[in-house]
Amino acid sequence: MTKEKMIIEIKEWLKEAAGYIRVSLTDELSVSQKSGRTDLVTNIDEETQTFLIKRINQYYPDDRILAEEKGFDTLDSLAGRVWIIDPIDGTMNFVMEQENFCIMIAVFEEGIGQLGFIYDVMKDELYWGGKGYGVFLNDQKLLQPKDTSLSEGLLGMNAYMYGKNIYSAGEIGHASMGIRVSGCAGVELIAMLKGNHIGYISNLSPWDYAAGLVLLDEFGFKYSNIEGKPLAFAKREYFLAATPTTYTEIQENFIQK
């Protein structure tokens, strides 16, 4: 089985899921709280995940799956081939704005990212790529962004971390050209891939960053947990991704000092 075949299949699944999500926006959503009033899940998050898992089980029955909803959110290891799925990233935006949300899929083999897909559903923009492919926006290959320093660019930021200056996020933001808060990890990672933002600081789960990491790798971005250790792909962690120069500046001047 070739990666090319897998790419074609995943793109078809994403288009089908996105079509369903767009149509569903005219229906009444069923919205529930998870850990609190700002942590939501809808019937569409769950149905999208169920659809994607059904396809994976049908085409790749031996593979394992890590996904945000419905009890798929833990996996003992990344051994073998693992699919990491966020059926709707930016659920709050989905509910409140009906835009600025993504479907994200990553394929990892023995812990190494092979393919990543971040699909901005309402813009119909699919950012995808992986080892040996580079990064594409739909059918157009993207150019690697410049290695910009902290004082020269915009940073995607988690609002809570910025406001409370967690890990000096407020000070880091002030040292940049400015911060931006989208409420969607996928949208922030896309902004880095396009060269619009030089980095992203947040508090994320594996399905929030897995697809993005595969694509960031292709463009030489650096990433880790905020303390500089490898991301665990397990619990939620403080997350830093940036251009190599900005990453080093943030580590040396704010985190490790």
Closest CA to 86 of 125, 121, 38: 121
**CA 96 distance to own-chain centroid:** 20
- Interface residues toward ligand IPD, by CB under 6 A: 68, 86, 89-91, 158, 183-185, 202-204, 208
Give the separation between CA 113 and CA 103, rounded to whole angstroms.
Answer: 17
Q: Which is nearer to ligand IPD, 2 or 74 (CB)?
A: 74
Is 76 flagged in the annotation as binding?
no
Q: Which of 47, 89, 218, 249 binds Ca ion (CB under 5 A)?
A: 89
Q: Which is nearer to ligand IPD, 7 or 52 (CB)?
A: 52
Instruction: Collect all residues with Cβ–Cβ distance below 8 Å to 179 and sequence separation of at least 6.
Output: 154, 155, 156, 157, 162, 173
CB of 237 to ligand IPD, least distance (A): 10
Stretch that binds Ca ion, among 89-97, 110-118, 121-129, 148-156 (CB under 5 A): 89-97
* Side chain identity at residue 115, one-letter code: L
68 binds Ca ion per the rule CB under 5 A: yes
CB of 161 to ligand IPD, least distance (A): 9
Is 208 flagged in the annotation as binding?
yes
Q: Which is nearer to Ca ion, 91 or 168 (CB)?
A: 91
Q: Which of residues 44-63 bind Ca ion (CB under 5 A)?
A: none
Tokens 């939501």 belong to 40
Is 63 flagged in the annotation as binding?
no
- Distances from the Cα of 134 to the Cα of 107, 141, 142, 185, 189, angstroms: 15, 7, 8, 20, 15
- Give the three-class secondary structure for 12: helix
Give the separation between CA 165 and CA 89, rounded to whole angstroms.
Answer: 24
Helical (H) or strand (E) element with 242: strand 237-242
Which listed option, Ca ion, ligand IPD, none, makes contact with residue 204 (CB within 5 to 8 Å by class)? ligand IPD
CB of 189 to Ca ion, least distance (A): 11
- Distances from the Cα of 161 to the Cα of 19, 44, 124, 192, 200, angstroms: 34, 29, 30, 19, 12
Stretch that binds Ca ion, among 65-73, 165-173, 217-225, 229-237 (CB under 5 A): 65-73
Which listed option, Ca ion, ligand IPD, none, makes contact with residue 121 (CB within 5 to 8 Å by class)? none
Is 124 flagged in the annotation as binding?
no
Positions that interact with Ca ion (CB under 5 A): 68, 86, 88-89, 208
Task: List, as residue ranges, the binding site for Mg(2+).
Answer: 68, 86, 88-89, 208
Which residue ranges are tagged as binding site?
68, 86, 88-89, 208
